C-alpha cells in the first residue's frame, strides 16, 4: 500500500498534534502535583506551636491566620514564603512579593501563658501594572 505525500503530511501533523496535547496534559499534571506538594509542605511547617527544640515555631501563627491574611489582602502564592525574620516586636514573613508582620501579644495575667502573636500588617509589593496613574479617570 502506497501512501501519498498529502496523506503522509496529514499523518505527521496529526501525530505531532497528539504529542503536543499529551505533553500539555503531562505538564499540567506535573504543575498541579508540584503546587499540591508545596502547599502540603507549607501547612505541615505550622502544625505545632513549638519546634522539637522548644523554640517558638513562627510558621504556626502564619498557618493559623491564613484565612485572615487571605480576606484582607490579595497575596498570591503565600506558600512560596522564603524566610521569617524575627524582630523586637514579633516577626516578619518575607515572600517574593509580600511581607506579613506579626506582633507579640503581651498577656497581663500572672499565669505562664504561651507566647502568642497577632497579625498586624500585610504589605504586598506593587508592580508597575498594578499602579494607576493619578491622572487616569474611572474609565481606565
> pLDDT tens-digit profile of 73-94?
877 778 877 788 888 989 998 8
CA distance 140 to 122: 27
Query: Model confidence over 93-123: pLDDT tens digits?
Result: 888 888 889 998 887 765 666 788 888 888 8
Query: Is 138 contained in some domain?
Result: no
Question: What global pTM score does this model have?
Answer: 0.65
- Identify whether the C-beta of residue 61 lies closer than 8 Å to the C-beta of residue 69: no
- Identify whether the C-beta of residue 83 lies closer than 8 Å to the C-beta of residue 62: no
Query: Is 75 contained in some domain?
Result: yes
Containing structural domain, residue 70: 5-124
Query: Is 137 contained in some domain?
Result: no
Query: Is 81 contained in some domain?
Result: yes
Query: Is 10 contained in some domain?
Result: yes
Backbone dihedral angles phi then psi of residue 107, each to the nearest 5 degrees: -90, 135
The residue among 96, 102, 85 whose CA lies nearest residue 124 is 96
| Domain total of the chain | 1
Nearest-5° angle of CA 116, CA 117, CA 119?
155
Task: Mention every residue, 6+ apart, whose C-beta is less than 8 A from residue 129.
Answer: none
Query: Is 119 contained in some domain?
Result: yes
For residues 101 and 131, the model is more confident at: 101
Query: Is 68 contained in some domain?
Result: yes
Query: Is 134 contained in some domain?
Result: no
- Identify whether the C-beta of residue 81 lies closer than 8 Å to the C-beta of residue 95: yes
Amino acid at each position: 500500500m502506497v501512501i501519498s505525500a498529502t496523506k503522509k503530511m496529514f499523518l505527521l501533523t496529526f501525530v505531532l498534534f497528539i504529542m503536543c496535547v499529551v505533553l500539555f496534559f503531562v505538564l499540567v499534571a506535573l504543575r498541579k502535583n508540584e503546587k499540591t506538594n508545596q502547599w502540603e509542605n507549607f501547612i505541615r511547617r505550622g502544625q505545632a506551636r513549638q519546634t522539637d527544640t522548644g523554640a517558638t515555631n513562627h510558621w504556626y501563627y502564619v498557618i493559623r491566620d491564613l484565612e485572615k491574611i487571605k480576606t484582607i489582602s490579595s497575596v498570591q502564592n503565600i506558600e512560596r514564603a522564603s524566610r521569617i525574620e524575627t524582630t523586637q516586636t514579633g516577626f516578619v514573613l518575607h515572600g517574593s512579593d509580600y511581607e506579613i508582620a506579626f506582633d507579640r501579644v503581651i498577656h497581663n495575667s500572672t499565669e505562664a501563658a504561651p507566647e502568642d502573636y497577632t497579625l498586624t500588617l500585610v504589605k504586598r509589593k506593587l508592580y508597575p501594572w498594578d499602579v494607576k496613574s493619578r491622572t487616569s479617570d474611572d474609565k481606565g
